[in-house]
Amino acid sequence: MGKEMDKKGCTFILEIKDTQSQSWQGKIKWIEGQKEETFRSVLELISLLDSVIITDTKKEMSHPLKRGEEEIPQICSGI
């Protein structure tokens, strides 16, 4: 497997606002990174979680919701 994640972990607050099309819509807040983002599906939520965990372990990316040069689509530009 890959390198183990630092034992400090990541803390998230998850708010499910709605459930449409057999999926979740809502908001996720990353406590340590002080970032908040909305999501339109469980798949998008998992992508956001994954990008934060990868960012937190590598400490290489300037934005916690980016993977390499690809940025996860911003749903709400006011956040």
Q: Where are the domains of the chain?
A: 12-71
Mean pLDDT of the chain: 75
**What does the pLDDT read at residue 38?**
94
Q: Taking Cα atoms as reference points, which of 20, 39, 37 lies closest to residue 29?
A: 37
Residue 26 has pLDDT above 60, yes or no: yes
Residue 79 has pLDDT above 50, yes or no: no
Tell me the residue length of the chain: 79
Q: What percent of the chain is modeled with pLDDT above 90?
A: 38
Whole-number Cα distances in Å, 16 to 10, 13, 20: 19, 10, 11
Query: Whole-prediction pTM value?
Result: 0.60
- The Cα–Cα gap between 17 and 2 comes to 34
Residue 77 has pLDDT above 50, yes or no: no
**Residue 49 gets which letter from DSSP?**
H
Whole-number Cα distances in Å, 47 to 25, 65, 78: 14, 9, 20
Express each pLDDT in 27-60 by its tens digit. Answer: 999 998 899 999 999 999 999 999 888 876 665 4
